[in-house]
Amino acid sequence: MTWGESHGPAIGVVIDGCPPKIPLSVEDIQKELDRRRPGQSTIVTQRKESDAVQILSGVFNGVTLGTPIAMLIINEDPRPEAYEDFKDKFRPSHADYTYQMKYGIRDWRGGGRASARETAARVAAGAVAKKFLSTTYGIQILAYVKQVYRIMASVDPNTVTPEQIESNIIRCPDQKTAKRMIKAIDAARKQGDTLGGIIECVVRGVPPGWGEPVFDRLHADLAKAMLSIPAAKGFEIGSGFGCVTMKGSEHNDPFVIRNGRVETLSNYSGGVQGGITNGQPIYFRVAFKPVATIMKPQQTVDIHLQNTTLQAKGRHDPCVLPRAVPVVEAMTALVLADHALRHKTICQWDK
């Protein structure tokens, strides 16, 4: 469970069900938060937050206790006054109007709980899940920017490395294309506009057999997790929508025995078949819309249901993709950690 608002005193998370004796330190969590924090480059929001995490419970002598883990992140640079002009107006394509309709009240300071600021708590939780998956199963989760606006990178998910991803501020492993992406984002920012794009994620080392056969299929849970991220608008796994242009004879993944283990000759399934992992790398893509806050006049209505206009101001991302990369990784880790624990409970095949 995450809690807190964008311009409130703090945000945080409580994790329940984490196994005991998992090595965990503040540094494990902070290194992931540093990848998501604002102000890290010229193409993200310039809000100054260190996102320094405090572990309040559930960890003792460097290992998890098996009890709930609570973590706290203080909001160091809130500026709610930047949103005073919007407290009576609904920002287009934000959650202002829908929150008002649902609750009859809303925190207008930067969107409150609907703000992407909340994702810092997810990244903190995801860091714990990542540590569990890596130390227990040797699983590696890597996400990177695949596309910005109409600029598409050429990246092989089977060979991409963390060093390639972190080698530039856009987190695109294709260095030449990364420069074009950065230039496009900077141009949109100067025009008071924003850009969207696609993040691709690959997971290596997941054993076969994880997932549920019907309602909690692994790829269904991944889709739900990804679409819960602010600004996420689409999800596809493996061949995704591209499968409609293929025949069955082209799309099937033939099985083969290699070095005594079952593998597939191709991976159009994206590592999941029938909702259950097949032991091949899991790979999927998440589409993110252009950031809704633009520095141009827009038509809207106010709380009195009168037509009006507004123009945003303050500190905002011209493109969410660079900071959304660790969020995608975190949500992936949380889904996989849950399924790992479920599999361990109901099935003894991996023994």
pLDDT digit string, tens, across residues 182-196: 999 999 999 999 999
In a domain, 232, yes or no: yes
Banded pLDDT at 119 (limits 50, 70, 90): very high
- The predicted structure's pLDDT at residue 127: 98
- The predicted structure's pLDDT at residue 347: 58
Q: Is residue 157 over pLDDT 60?
A: yes
- The predicted structure's pLDDT at residue 41: 86
Banded pLDDT at 230 (limits 50, 70, 90): very high
In a domain, 351, yes or no: no
Q: Is residue 345 over pLDDT 80?
A: no
| pTM of the predicted model as reported, rounded to 2 decimal places | 0.95
Q: What own/partner pairs with CB < 8 Å and gap ≥ 24 does 172-175 have?
A: 172/144, 172/145, 172/146, 172/148, 173/144
Could you tell me the residue range of the domain that residue 22 belongs to? 2-346
- The predicted structure's pLDDT at residue 346: 65
In a domain, 145, yes or no: yes
Which residue carries 């984002």 as its tokens? 185
Which whole number is the average pLDDT over 228-236? Answer: 97
- The predicted structure's pLDDT at residue 122: 98
In a domain, 253, yes or no: yes
pLDDT digit string, tens, across residues 325-339: 999 999 999 999 999
- The predicted structure's pLDDT at residue 309: 94
Q: Is residue 348 over pLDDT 60?
A: no
In a domain, 9, yes or no: yes
Which of 142, 277, 274, 251 minimizes the C-alpha distance to 200? 142
pLDDT digit string, tens, across residues 47-101: 888 999 999 999 999 999 999 999 999 999 877 777 888 889 999 999 999 999 9
pLDDT digit string, tens, across residues 125-156: 999 999 999 999 999 999 999 999 999 999 99
- Pairing mode of beta strands 140-148, 151-152: antiparallel
In a domain, 300, yes or no: yes
The mean predicted confidence, pLDDT, of the chain is: 94
pLDDT digit string, tens, across residues 288-308: 999 999 999 999 999 999 999
- The predicted structure's pLDDT at residue 144: 98
In a domain, 338, yes or no: yes
- Count of domains in the chain? 1
Which whole number is the average pLDDT over 106-129? Answer: 93
Higher pLDDT, 33 or 79: 33
User: For residue 43, what is the domain's CATH number?
Assistant: 3.60.150.10
In a domain, 72, yes or no: yes
What is the percentage of the chain residues whose pLDDT exceeds 70? 98
Q: What own/partner pairs with CB < 8 Å and gap ≥ 24 does 133-139 have?
A: 133/333, 133/336, 133/337, 133/340, 135/22, 135/23, 136/19, 136/22, 136/340, 137/205, 137/206, 137/207, 137/340, 138/205, 139/203, 139/204, 139/205, 139/206, 139/336
